[in-house]
């Protein structure tokens, strides 16, 4: 089973990211869950969402405490919360940032596998708004292969209707431009 | 088997209600809310469902409107939660007394105060004795499957009682999970049109909801009690027909690895899924533990529960609400009463867990199951344990 945690801000689409991931996995005949960190929805406030993907039925409705993958949609959260908390040593951190690997590692204190994508720039280019949820999924799929890209494209088409095309372009650019850094060995 | 679809459980539940060809919906989306009536409003607005969608000004009015619409012979549905259910309280008793087979989905949540919108069973425990048939769904698939079963039971001429489908707020209601949909043809084959024996009709006037003078009231209430107790056989039939239709076997009481267990945990709602994983983990260590879960809650499946527990020496009970002022909470009270007349009386260990949305982990469930085994091995039973509370 793979477990995912999403860090973002209310209104940015973290919950939608988790949903699209689960819907895509289920359409590929896997078992999956997605759910928000339940609470009053406040635009701009830090929010979390969770997902699980498994080959067998998932019998667990608790939050995710030991994720295999963490996605950070809003880089400003890195200074506020320990985004790598509980992340498995062989896990993956996917960050929306234009910063250098060195800076991201210093600020997240994460030495494992890291995927960096300039999410806001890609979102502004295609969607014209700083909503980078589909961008992050493109980066995630390239870095982890956890779901099938063509099935994700189908899920995005179904979900976004009229604005599907720009989201697909954002998804694809992120898939192509994500910068993947292998883990740093401890001295 | 149909294809599974990744969908939020509330949305699937609403789709299922729409595919039951409901004719009337009473809607008051109070906070806390699910997407159920919102999604049904889209069905109606998009012209896919011919139903009267009545937005009302309170949950008290939502239930009142539901009764009125059911009384004229419309298949009627509504959904609520928490404070909304509490505000309906007065009218909830009228529905079974007037034998109006409304179906209502209740996303179980805590009651204020402190103000809370999160999952536990405070709302429905308060409305345990309202005289409705009550069923608990464990997951999104059950939410979808059991809506037509609820209508089938409610409208059956041997029952004619309103029915509640309980499911956990947030942890089921807001969860995206794989759900296999039925076809419209399967719905139509499973659920015949609503054919009320008596209804409000200007061409054939009747009086409904009359006063019950002391010479009548007592008999009327007892008739209602008998009708509800007798509904059990109809629920069994409805589940059997459901299995024939879609291949999923639903029992009044479900067990998990209970047959040879040294200790059994009894819980209601979706926590059983998390508990199943804990049971599997302990079984790998050679610890014989199991689960019992009621799918039907009212009428209470006494015989089925006694059979499910068998001769197990230790039973644990999980309460998800408090019976203020009593040292045994509601579910524990029910299970204590169950064993009073039973041929075999196990040791009973009581727990409260997951109040007001406090997260329940596999580790919490393993702790509870291990505690039951300690009692099996001679440890004292002790008072109710409040699992996960900060000291």
> Domain segments of chain B: what residues?
4-246, 253-386
Instruction: Answer whether A38 sits within 8 Å of B177, measured CB to CB.
Output: no
pLDDT score of A187: 45
The span from the CA of B58 to the CA of A47, in Å, is: 31
The span from the CA of B76 to the CA of B279, in Å, is: 40
- Chain segment B99-110, per-residue pLDDT in tens: 999 999 999 999
Residue B1 pLDDT > 90? no
Residue A171 pLDDT > 60? yes
Q: In what order do the strands lie in the sheet with B133-136?
A: B52-55, B24-27, B76-80, B103-108, B163-168, B133-136, B296-298
- Chain segment B297-350, per-residue pLDDT in tens: 999 999 999 999 999 999 999 999 999 999 999 999 999 999 999 989 999 999
Architecture of domain B253-386: 3-Layer(aba) Sandwich (3.40)
Nearest beta carbon to residue A62 from set B8, B176, B362: B362
pLDDT score of B29: 75
Give the mean pLDDT of B5-18.
Answer: 98
Instruction: Answer whether A35 sits within 8 Å of B174, measured CB to CB.
Output: yes
Average pLDDT, chain A: 95
The span from the CA of B318 to the CA of A9, in Å, is: 35
- Chain segment B112-137, per-residue pLDDT in tens: 999 999 999 999 999 999 999 999 99
A117 forms bridges with which residues in the sheet? A96
Q: Is the pTM of this model over 0.90?
A: yes
Residues in A closer than 8 angstroms to B360, CB to CB, are 61-62
Nearest beta carbon to residue B276 from set A25, A40, A59: A59
pLDDT score of B30: 75
Let me know if domain B4-246 sits in CATH 3.40.50.970. yes
Q: Helices A149-160 and A133-144 meet at what angle, rounded to 10?
A: 170
- Identify the closest residue of chain B to A30 by CA–CA distance: B178
Answer yes or no: same fold for B4-246 and B253-386.
yes
- Chain segment B34-93, per-residue pLDDT in tens: 999 999 999 999 999 999 999 999 999 999 999 999 999 999 999 999 999 999 999 999
The span from the CA of B75 to the CA of B133, in Å, is: 16
Which of A19, A25, A59 is most worth mutating to test chain B (most B CB atoms within 10 A of its CB)?
A: A59
């Amino acid at each position: 089973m793979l477990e995912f945690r999403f860090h973002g801000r209310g209104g940015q689409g973290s919950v939608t990211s988790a949903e699209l991931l689960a819907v895509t996995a289920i359409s590929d005949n896997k078992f999956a869950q997605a759910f928000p960190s339940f609470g009053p929805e406040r635009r701009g406030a830090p929010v979390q969402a969770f997902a699980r993907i498994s080959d067998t039925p998932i019998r667990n409705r608790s939050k995710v405490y030991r994720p295999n993958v963490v996605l950070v949609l809003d880089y400003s959260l890195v200074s506020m919360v320990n985004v790598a908390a509980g992340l498995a040593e062989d896990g993956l951190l996917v960050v929306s940032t234009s910063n250098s690997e060195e800076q991201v590692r210093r600020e997240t204190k994460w030495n494992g596998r890291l995927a960096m994508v300039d999410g806001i720039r890609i979102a502004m280019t295609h969607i014209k708004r700083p909503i980078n949820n589909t961008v992050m999924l493109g980066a995630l799929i390239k870095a982890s292969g956890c779901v099938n890209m063509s099935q994700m494209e189908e899920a995005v088409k179904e979900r976004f209707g009229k604005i599907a095309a720009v989201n697909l372009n954002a998804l694809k650019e992120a898939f192509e431009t994500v910068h993947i850094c292998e883990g740093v060995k401890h001295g | 088997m149909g294809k599974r679809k990744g969908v939020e459980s509330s949305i699937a539940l609403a789709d299922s209600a729409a595919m039951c060809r409901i004719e009337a919906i009473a809607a008051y989306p109070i906070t806390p809310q699910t997407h159920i009536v919102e999604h049904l409003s889209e069905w109606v607005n998009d012209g896919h469902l011919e139903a009267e969608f009545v937005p009302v000004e309170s949950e008290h009015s939502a239930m009142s409107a539901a009764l009125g619409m059911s009384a004229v012979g419309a298949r009627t549905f509504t959904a609520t939660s928490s404070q909304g259910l509490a505000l309906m309280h007065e009218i909830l008793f009228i529905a079974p007394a007037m034998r109006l087979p409304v179906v209502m989905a209740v996303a179980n949540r805590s009651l204020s105060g402190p103000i809370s919108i999160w999952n536990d069973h405070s709302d429905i425990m308060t409305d345990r004795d309202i005289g409705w048939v009550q069923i608990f769904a464990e997951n999104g698939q059950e939410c979808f499957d059991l809506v037509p079963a609820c209508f089938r039971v409610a409208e059956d001429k041997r029952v004619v009682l309103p029915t509640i489908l309980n499911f956990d707020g947030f942890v089921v209601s807001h969860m995206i999970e794989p759900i296999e949909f039925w076809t419209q043809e399967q719905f139509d084959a499973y659920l015949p049109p609503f054919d009320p024996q008596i209804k409000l009709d200007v061409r054939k006037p009747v009086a409904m909801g009359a006063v019950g003078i002391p010479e009548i009231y007592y008999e009327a209430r007892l008739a209602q009690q008998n009708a509800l107790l007798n509904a059990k056989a109809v629920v069994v039939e409805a589940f059997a027909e459901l299995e024939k239709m879609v291949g999923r076997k639903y029992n009044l009481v479900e067990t998990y690895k209970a047959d040879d267990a040294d200790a059994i945990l009894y819980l209601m709602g979706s926590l059983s899924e998390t508990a199943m994983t804990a049971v599997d983990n302990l079984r790998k260590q050679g610890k014989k533990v199991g689960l019992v879960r009621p799918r039907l809650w009212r009428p209470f499946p006494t015989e089925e529960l006694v059979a499910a527990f068998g001769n197990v020496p230790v039973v644990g009970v999980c309460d998800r609400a408090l019976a203020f002022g009593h040292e045994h909470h509601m579910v524990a009270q029910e299970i204590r009463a169950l064993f009073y007349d039973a041929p075999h009386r196990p040791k009973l260990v009581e727990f409260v867990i997951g109040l007001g949305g406090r997260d329940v982990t596999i580790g919490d469930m393993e702790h509870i199951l291990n505690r039951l085994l300690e009692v099996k091995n001679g440890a004292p039973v002790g008072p109710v344990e409040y699992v996960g509370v900060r000291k």
